[in-house]
Every structure is written in C-alpha cells, then in structure tokens.
Amino acid sequence: MGGDFGPPVTVPAAVKALRRHPGLRLYLVGDQQKITPFLQGLAADEQQRLEVLHTEMVISNQARPDSILRSYRESSMYLTVDLVRQGVADACVSAGNTGALLLAGRHLLKTIPGIDRPAIIATLPATRAGGYTYLLDVGANTRCNASELCQYALMGSVLASSLTDKQRPRVALLNIGEEEHKGTPAIRETSRLLNASPDIEYIGFVEGNQLFDGKADVIVCDGFTGNITIKTSAGAVEVLHRVMRRGLTRRWYYRLFGWAVSPLLKDLWKELQPARYNGATLVGLQGIIVKSHGNARQDGFARAIEHALYQVADDVPARIQARMSSLAPVAGDDVQPTSTLH
Amino acid sequence: MGGDFGPPVTVPAAVKALRRHPGLRLYLVGDQQKITPFLQGLAADEQQRLEVLHTEMVISNQARPDSILRSYRESSMYLTVDLVRQGVADACVSAGNTGALLLAGRHLLKTIPGIDRPAIIATLPATRAGGYTYLLDVGANTRCNASELCQYALMGSVLASSLTDKQRPRVALLNIGEEEHKGTPAIRETSRLLNASPDIEYIGFVEGNQLFDGKADVIVCDGFTGNITIKTSAGAVEVLHRVMRRGLTRRWYYRLFGWAVSPLLKDLWKELQPARYNGATLVGLQGIIVKSHGNARQDGFARAIEHALYQVADDVPARIQARMSSLAPVAGDDVQPTSTLH
C-alpha cells in the first residue's frame, strides 16, 4: 500500500517480479479492493504463487513512526513485517514510511546479537568502475559512535559481497579529508578499529567528491551524513537535468541536438539518479526488510523485490551474525547515539 | 603563493582585479622572484597601486595547521593576515591551506565578541532562482552546538545581504527532513532559537535535494555536514560531465552534435560546478579573510579578490558585531564543539 503511488505501482511490479522469478512466492498485504484490479490476466501458475492478505489500515507517510506500535498493529506494514517474524515470509518489501518500517523491524524481528541498531543501506552508481557502491547509514540513526560505525562496516561488507561477486569488498569511511587527523573523534576511532579488523578490507577515508568513482564498494557514515549525502547528489543531478533542458531550448540547433540525443540523455539520468537504484535495505535485523523509495515506479519496485530475493538466497542476516566476532573490540564509545525515531 | 598553481595564477588574477577596480590597492606577499615575472607591462598608475612584500617561506597544503604558529611566522600567509591585523590592509585573500588560514585568522584577528568560532561560507548556484545560496559552515568546525549554529545563521544573513541586494535573506537549516522532530538535538534547538530571533528571516529546514533550488539564501549546518555536502555536489556534477562526454562518443551523430553544443556544455558546467563559485569567506573574525579554492584559475581568484572588496565596502565584520544582540539567548548547549584544527 505504501509509497507515493500505492497499489497501481506496487502490484504490477509484484506481478512483474513473479513472472521473472519462477521460484518466487508473494503475499500482497493490504486493501483487497485496491489490489485485485491490478491482478487481472494472471496465469494459473502465477495465481498459485500469489496471495492477497486483506487489511484496510495503512500507515501514512506523515504518521509519527512511534505511533505504529500504539495504533497500527492492524496496518499492512506491521502485518507484513510480522509475516517475516512468524517465518511465513522470508523477506518483506515496502515503499512506505521508513521510520515506521524501522520501528516495526526492530520491534518484531529484533537486531542480530551484537548489532546495536539496524541501518539503512543505499546503492549508488559507481560510474567509473561501472558497478555499485553501498552507502550506510542513510537515515536510520542520526549520530553514531565508533562501535556502531564498525558494525555498519561489517554489515555493508557482507551485503556487498552478497549483491556483487566481490569476496572482499573495499570498505571506506566518509570523511572531510583523507588525512588521519581529520573528522570527528568517532570517525577517527572507527578508522583505528577497522584497521585492526582483518576480516574487513578497510581502505581508509573517502571524501564527498569520491562517492561515485568506485574507489570503495562500501562507504560508512552516520545516518545524518548519509541522508544529506544521497539527497544532495540526487539534487545536484536533478538540477543539471533541469538546467540542461533549459539550455537546450536556447538555439534551434541546440533543440535539434536535444531531440537527437534524447535517448542518450534519458539513459544518463537513469544511470546517475541515485534514487533510481532502488532497494535500500534495512540491515542488522534478524530478518530481511527491503525499503523501496517512495517515488519508485514499477521497474524500481520490482528491483526492490529482487534485492530481497538475493538476500534470501544468501541468508544475509545469518552471514552478518557469523562474522560479528571478527570485529575489533571497542575501548569505550565516544559519542552517545541518538535516533531519528524519537 | 598558495593554491594548486601559485603565482602563475594568483598574480595575473591580482593584476586583472587591479585593472577592473581603480580604487583597489594590492599587496602581493611572497617570493619576489616568483611574483615579478608576472608583473610585466603594468601601467604607471597600476604599478603605484601594487606592492610586493618579499618573503620566501610558504605554508604547504600538507602542513598541519597548528604548525603555523610554531614555525611559520615568516610565511606569506601569516604575514598577509598580519597586515590586516595592523590595519595596513583591509582584507586578505588566499588560495592556501584552509586550516592554517583559519588558525592565523583566529590568532591574529580574533573573533568578533559573541562569536565563538569563525566559519567558512561557500557560495552555491541557486539555479531555479538564478541567484546564489550561501552555505556555512563548510569545514571550519566539524561539530557545532545550537549557539554556534545560530551565530552562523546571523553571520550568513549579514554576508548574504552584503553580497546580494536582499534586505532580509531567507535562512534555513540543513536537515534530514522538514518535520520539526527530525535531526539532531542541536539542530532542533537551533530551529527553536531562530524562530525566536525576529531579526533573522528563518524559514525552517531544507533537505539535501533542495540545496540548489533557491528556496533559501543562507543554509546553515555544521562544518562536517557542509564539507561533505559541497564535495558531494561537486562530485555528482563531475560524474555527470564525465558520463555525458563518454556517452557523446557512442555514435557519430552524437559526436557531431557534441561538437555543435560544446559552448553550451561548457557554460553548463561553469554554471553548476560549485567549486567555481569562488571566494569562500571566513566569517566571524574581526577582519576580512577570503579563501579562494586551491584549484581556482585566474578568473576565480580575481573573483575572490572582488568578494573581499564588497565585504570591505560594507564592513561586514562591523555589521555582524552590531547585530549580535539580536540573537535569542541560548538556554544550555547540548553538543560539545570539536574543531577540525586539532
């Protein structure tokens, strides 16, 4: 039911994913009346792999996340996460209210032992390397201490090796300089700890302008910084698109050019719009939850479902748990964590 | 002597500014032998308005900032800031080591009474509005408390009204959401204080994707966030440029069109590359220091000199001081400040 568009986008996307993956079974949780109109023309086999679980209650994007536990236990989101808790479903995919999804995840699935708080991990295009870079946290926890940042490094590393073919993904810390003395005490302490963690391929600090050059497979930062970062890059790309289109109307041969290269331009924005790399994952929970962007269209939401599939195949939560012991011990935490959820 | 190129860029830029502004007098502080080759062909009038102060010592970009006070008192940067302290010069312009410049500024000029620490303010293109947005702090102080963020709001507001024709520049806080409960305790407290400061036209929170839409004239954040933000947007624009050029070689008619529109493309990158908006200013000191980007070319460095001129004309430090009393009192600071300089 979630996202900017609801069932008109999520249900056809679900059908698309169902057709692409013959081993996939889906529960669609939400208002049956709004869902079934988009389920016309399914083959018998597809119908068998799809089930609608009816509930009318929906958590709006405006709802304060903490209200989910008080008044939204019949909501489609809560019930979906609960299917994972019960073991009925292997993963949950939602385009809804991120804060509520996080809270439902923590409440119902609990974090992996040794993980303090789940993080949200986003996918960035690594244009030079032609691959992807995973950035976390992008909004679950505004401020993080060194111990949490190390947990992010480990979780990002496991997820990256699950979603790509890299055995030892390169992990970097987002900072305001490459020199050792730069950044906050928490970041410097994290750097020291990661250098002492042989299971993590830690490559040092990267700066904001290196986010897209593929230098690192995983980039770690606190949720405040990560959120500003992905929104800023989305904003910069959007502005360029706008200014470019405006510029292309200035002369007749610019307009002609614009028409001739429009397929190229379309590809470009697709390639670079960070928001298009759909399937931000909640990592750190004892269960798989993929958060699709609210403004995702059918392809984007279908991709989010596929992200969930890959994580199920690799059992990412179990792999994170198995590697928890490889982190260097933390001497003492220097920053008190604060959560965006309160 | 500073920046990526030194005198081959800074001296011709200085001459350019001298020619454009007949009331301008300049001291060039540095290695005479490296400066004079670029001073050929000056008119008599221009020669009279320009003086070279010789020193051989230069602070490198790699130097740890704190070493400036120990071992660099004969450096061109230290001597230049000292000219401002002595009242010999009205402003200092440098493309050198930012941390060292900040430290020299604090040590020699001191902060304005009521200002805890100087900030660095950068100029962003506000493409939709066709103007500029000023972002601070972009790297002087990694973490800031509410009281400091309020000081930034006031300083940004004074500088913006000096550099634009706006009487009451709109001031916003950079945050991870627009709702009141979002962000760190320091940001929420700052928002409360700014709402209670009638002299500041506070318009609330903006998110990373709204940096370039001209919604605000001044955007306030801590130095860690600001630094990541400007570097991320520069990185996103650079990536787009690269991917676009690569894309334009894919077909012969793309190449042809690419050639036809190359002036347009050039303008575009100029318009959007945040690093081009040269003249990051140090605000909060009892004196004017403009920091040019290290990679500025002649036009950029000349623009930095002009930024300094405008601030001298308006006596920005005095105007900030005069308005200090208009800030709402701070109840108790919630975040311990940390500096990038140590």
B208, B242, B271: residue with CB nearest A229: B208
Minimal CA separation from A318 to chain B, in Å: 31
Q: What is the per-residue burial (b if ≥16 Cβ within 10 Å, else e) of B50-87?
A: beeeebebbbeeebebeebeeebeebbbbbbbbbbbee
Task: Give the range among A141-150, A265-274, B198-207 with minimum mean pLDDT.
Answer: A265-274
Has residue A332 been placed in a domain? no
What's the distance, CA A130 to chain centroid? 19
Has residue A195 been placed in a domain? yes
A294 CB neighbours in chain B (<8 A) are: none
Cβ distance A272 to B230 less than 8 Å, yes or no, reads: no
Please return the burial class of A319, using the count of CB atoms within 10 Å of its CB with bins 0-12, 13-18 and 19+: middle
Residue-wise pLDDT tens digits, B169-215: 999 999 998 888 889 999 999 999 999 999 899 999 999 989 888 89
B177, B181, B240: residue with CB nearest A272: B240
A64, A221, A235: residue with CB nearest B211: A235
- Mean pLDDT, all residues of chain B: 86
Domain extent for A222: 7-326
Residue-wise pLDDT tens digits, A300-333: 899 899 989 989 998 999 999 998 877 766 655 4
Closest residue on chain B to A210 (Cα): B235
Q: How far apart are CA B254 and CA B247, in angstroms?
A: 8
Share of chain B above pLDDT 90, in %: 56
Contact A286, A112 (CB under 8 A): yes
Q: How many Cβ atoms from other residues are within 10 Å of residue A60's Cβ?
A: 12
Distances (CA, A) of A252 to A256, B111, B260, B266, B270: 6, 54, 11, 18, 22
Please give the single-letter amino acid code of residue B129: A
Cβ distance A184 to B224 less than 8 Å, yes or no, reads: yes
A210, A240, A254: residue with CB nearest B272: A240
Q: Rounded to the nearest 5 degrees, what angle is found at the Cα of B95, between the Cα atoms of B90 and B215?
A: 85
Cβ distance A233 to B235 less than 8 Å, yes or no, reads: yes
Has residue B107 been placed in a domain? yes
> Mutation test of the interface with chain B: which of A207, A261, A277, A338, choosing the one with the most B Cβ atoms within 10 A?
A261
Q: Does this complex have an ipTM over 0.90?
A: no
Has residue A338 been placed in a domain? no
Q: Is B99 left (phi over 0), alpha (psi -120 to 50) or beta?
A: alpha
- With CA atoms as reference, report the closest residue to A135 among A50, A268, A69, A228: A228
The answer on pLDDT for A337 being more than 60 is no
Cβ distance B224 to A225 less than 8 Å, yes or no, reads: yes
Has residue A340 been placed in a domain? no
B223 CB neighbours in chain A (<8 A) are: 176
A64 CB neighbours in chain B (<8 A) are: 181
Residue-wise pLDDT tens digits, B214-235: 899 999 999 999 999 988 888 8
B208 CB neighbours in chain A (<8 A) are: 227-235
Q: The domain that contains B24 carries what CATH number?
A: 3.40.718.10
What pLDDT was estimated at residue A275? Answer: 47
Has residue A186 been placed in a domain? yes
What pLDDT was estimated at residue A341? Answer: 42
The answer on pLDDT for A61 being more than 60 is yes
Minimal CA separation from A151 to chain B, in Å: 21
B209 CB neighbours in chain A (<8 A) are: 231-232, 234-235, 238
Residue A281 has φ and ψ, to the nearest 5°, of: -105, 145
Task: Give the range among A72-76, A171-175, B61-65 with minimum mean pLDDT.
Answer: B61-65
B338 CB neighbours in chain A (<8 A) are: 184-185
Secondary structure class of A280 (helix, strand, coil): strand
- With CA atoms as reference, report the closest residue to B3 among B309, B339, B293: B293
Please return the burial class of B240, using the count of CB atoms within 10 Å of its CB with bins 0-12, 13-18 and 19+: buried
Name the domain count of chain B.
1
Has residue A334 been placed in a domain? no
Residue-wise pLDDT tens digits, B242-273: 777 777 777 776 677 677 667 766 766 666 55
Has residue B335 been placed in a domain? no
B142 CB neighbours in chain A (<8 A) are: 176, 183-184
